[in-house]
């Protein structure tokens, strides 16, 4: 048994890779959350309102990722050529900026409503 190897030892290691699309959706999440946190910090909110707005920020970030994934999935289906695939990253980058600004504006409006 010393010289023998089982089939499991010689199997190649399976590594998972992270695509650029995954990184962009992570940036959409953090951008939206950052927009909400920025609004909370500018509004000088504390206590129970801060906790409520933190949950609000996470909900905005999750919805931003859901929109990015849904829109990106539809665009990926329509792209016929591999050469056009990098063009999908431009709308994703634009969505990161828009979702961050939208999160800031919506959270600022909610802060005004809670006062």
Range of the domain at 26: 20-114
Give the separation between CA 19 and CA 26, rounded to whole angstroms: 11
Does 11 fall in a domain? no
Does 34 fall in a domain? yes
Q: pLDDT per residue over 62-106, tens digit each?
A: 999 998 888 877 777 777 677 777 777 888 889 999 999 999 999
Q: pLDDT per residue over 38-54, tens digit each?
A: 999 999 988 899 899 99
What's the whole-model pTM score? 0.75
Q: Which of 8-12, 26-30, 82-86 has the lowest mean pLDDT?
A: 8-12
Tokens matching residue 36: 């909400």
* Count: domains in the chain: 1
């Amino acid at each position: 048994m010393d010289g023998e190897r089982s089939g499991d030892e010689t199997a190649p290691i399976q590594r998972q890779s992270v695509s650029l699309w995954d990184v962009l959706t992570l940036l959409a999440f953090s951008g939206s959350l950052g927009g909400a946190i920025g609004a909370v910090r500018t509004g000088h909110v504390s206590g129970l309102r801060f906790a409520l707005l933190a949950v609000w920020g996470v909900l905005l970030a999750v919805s931003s990722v859901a929109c990015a994934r849904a829109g990106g999935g539809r665009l990926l289906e329509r792209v016929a050529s591999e050469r056009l695939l990098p063009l999908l990253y431009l709308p994703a980058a634009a969505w990161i900026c828009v979702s961050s600004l939208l999160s800031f504006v919506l959270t600022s409006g909610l802060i005004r409503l809670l006062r």
